[in-house]
Amino acid sequence: MSVVELLPLVESLPSAEKFQLLQFLVAALGKEAGFIPFNSTMIYPVWTPYNVPEETVTKLAGMLAEERTSYDA
């Protein structure tokens, strides 16, 4: 089936199914390009500023305070 034949079918899909098709196509292109896609059943860690050690927060706050005072001078 050609793209010309597929386009009218894609246009007739509901938005949710168009989104699913988009996800499928992006994953397929990624696999072809050699990228490893995310696994939807796995949990991936995401760094946030809320899980840093307290001493790091204190050090950064001190550095920012020093920088502010150097601009005020």
- Range 35-70 burial, b when 16+ CB lie within 10 A, else e: eeeeeeeeeeeeeeeeeeeeeeeeeeeeeeeeeeee
CB–CB of 21/10 below 8 Å?
yes
Per-residue model confidence as pLDDT tens digits over 2-28: 999 999 999 999 999 999 999 889 888
Task: Determine contact, residues 12/20, Cβ cutoff 8 Å.
Answer: no
pLDDT tens-digit series, residues 28-51: 888 888 887 677 788 877 777 777
pTM tops 0.75, yes or no: no
